Amino acid sequence: MFEALDVLQMNEEDVLQFLAAETYSGGTNLDFQMEQYIYKKKSDGIYSINMKRTLKKFLLAACATVATENLAISAMSFRNTGQPAVLKLVAASGAISIAGHVTPESFTNQIQAAFREPRLPMVTVPRVEPQPLTEAS
């Protein structure tokens, strides 16, 4: 998808930014859905993430974000570790943030005061609470 454009190819600066942000460092848990994104397993049991595949996913997410109106994006984080990233995204883009747990039916029940209809829901850790993505889809 992004192979034709030289601007979107991974260069040395991208690699240095990945290393500075430590996005290459995974965890010790691995499931079948993550196997395709693993580069290798270190001797201490921590998996290293493939930077090229990560960059492709970032570019795909960036294309989806740019194609959507700011007020139609809802960024959510249910963990304290992800909330600063959500707040930075909201400050930079004008999207709507949801900190903490989402009330059930807040994306489907129009009678609720907190009703939202996001075209692009973003969740930092969807395994923690998959309900918003399921409800928005």
56, burial (CB in 10 Å: exposed 0-12, middle 13-18, buried 19+): middle
96 within a domain of the structure (yes/no): yes
d(CA 62, CA 67): 9
Q: What is the CATH number of the domain that holds 118?
A: 3.40.50.10490
The residue range of the domain holding 59 is 9-67
Are residues 48 and 22 part of one domain? yes
| pLDDT band, residue 4 (cuts 50/70/90) | low
pLDDT of residue 13: 82
| pLDDT band, residue 7 (cuts 50/70/90) | low
If residue 65 lies in a helix (H) or strand (E), which one and from where to where?
helix 51-66
pLDDT of residue 135: 79
Are residues 137 and 73 part of one domain? yes
Domain tally, the chain: 2
| pLDDT band, residue 2 (cuts 50/70/90) | low
Q: What is the pLDDT of residues 69-120, one digit of tens each?
A: 877 888 888 888 888 888 888 888 888 887 777 777 777 777 877 777 788 8
Measured in residues, the chain has a length of 137
Mean pLDDT of the chain: 79
Are residues 79 and 48 part of one domain? no
1 within a domain of the structure (yes/no): no
The predicted model gives 35-44 an average pLDDT of: 84
